[in-house]
């Protein structure tokens, strides 16, 4: 896998870091595949989407199609828009953009992600509140609590970025100090969003299995296997996106290692 050595004599691998362009496009294909597979699961196996409850007998209704907006919008919010926001400075879709333009794209992508999150929450609450004959309780599951925490974190991150960088209201020295924190919180929010999406998909799959009474060989039907595939795509998407933020070996070598943890590995002639 090594392509040779750099000017310092360190081995250089084709996969990076920094990653080659082909890995960047694979990353974007993973983002798109995650969203499309979620949409296919919702449209073809969960009944599709709708804006109004489906009336049934004896005053009952089915609000499932309203709720189904939730996974579709979340699949746009985190694996697509927030993933691209994380990539916007390193590998933007339009590579000719200068840094101020990349900043605007980054903010726009984060804003689009927040809009999808808000609409997804509205869909979930509406589907619960409009359910008849008995409304479904809100915020009762681990997925709900984690989702609320991720939403708060995403908004805090947005306001931090807006106030410090997009429309700066703090001094330059504070912006420089906040930079690493803003970058870290952005990646943490992205990972937490992917993780909570996986939790939500698992929860929905469990409801489907229970509601349809699936067991045995029926557990291998697409309605169950597709969400399992989506969760694998979420993992791969997260790994691929974060790899673009991994510094090259030369950059890592010059970081401060106060505890001397890397000395034995880096300086060992046999390493």
pLDDT digits (tens, 9 = 90+) for 80-112: 999 999 999 999 999 899 999 999 999 999 999
For tokens 């199609």, name the residue. 65
In this prediction the pTM is: 0.88
Are the C-beta atoms of 119 and 128 separated by less than 8 Å? no
pLDDT of residue 18: 84
In this structure, the dihedral spanned by the alpha carbons of residues 46, 51, 57 and 58, taken in order and rounded to 10 degrees, is 130
Q: What confidence tens digit (pLDDT) does each residue in 41-84 have?
A: 999 999 999 999 999 988 899 999 999 999 999 999 999 999 99
End-to-end CA distance of the chain: 16
**Is 3.40.50.720 the CATH number for 20-246?**
no
CA nearest neighbour of 37 among 11, 88, 76, 92:
76
Residues 6+ apart with CB under 8 A from 224: 205, 208, 209, 214
Q: Which two tokens stand for residue 62?
A: 């089915």
C-alpha distances (whole Å) from 45 to each of 41, 65, 135 are 5, 11, 24
Whether the pLDDT of residue 263 is over 50: the answer is no
pLDDT of residue 225: 98
> Can you count the helices (H) and strands (E) in the chain?
10, 4
2 vs 205, residue with greater confidence: 205
Cα separation, 266 vs 255, in Å, equals 13
pLDDT of residue 165: 85
């Amino acid at each position: 896998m090594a392509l040779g050595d750099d000017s310092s004599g360190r081995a250089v691998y084709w996969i990076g870091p920094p990653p080659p362009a082909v890995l960047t496009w694979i990353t974007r294909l993973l983002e798109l595949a995650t969203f499309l597979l979620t949409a296919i699961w919702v449209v073809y196996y969960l009944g599709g989407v709708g804006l109004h409850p489906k009336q049934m007998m004896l005053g009952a209704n089915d609000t499932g199609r309203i709720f189904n907006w939730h996974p579709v919008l979340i699949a746009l919010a985190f694996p697509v828009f927030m993933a691209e926001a994380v990539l916007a400075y390193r590998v933007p879709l339009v590579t000719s953009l200068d840094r101020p333009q990349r900043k605007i794209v980054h903010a726009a992508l984060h804003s689009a992600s927040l809009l999808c999150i808000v609409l997804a929450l509205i869909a979930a609450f509406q589907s619960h509140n409009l359910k008849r004959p008995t409304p479904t309780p809100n915020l009762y599951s681990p997925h709900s609590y984690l989702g609320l925490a991720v939403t708060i974190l995403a908004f805090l991150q947005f306001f931090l970025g807006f106030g410090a960088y997009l429309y700066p209201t703090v001094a330059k020295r504070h912006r420089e100090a906040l930079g690493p924190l803003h970058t870290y919180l952005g990646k943490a929010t992205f990972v937490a969003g992917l993780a909570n999406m996986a939790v939500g998909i698992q929860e929905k799959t469990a409801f489907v299995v229970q509601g349809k009474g699936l067991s045995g060989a029926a557990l291998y039907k697409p309605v169950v296997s597709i969400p399992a595939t989506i969760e694998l795509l979420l993992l791969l998407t997260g790994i691929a996106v974060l790899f673009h933020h991994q510094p090259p070996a030369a950059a890592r070598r010059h970081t401060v290692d106060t505890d001397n943890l890397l000395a034995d590995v880096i300086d060992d002639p046999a390493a």
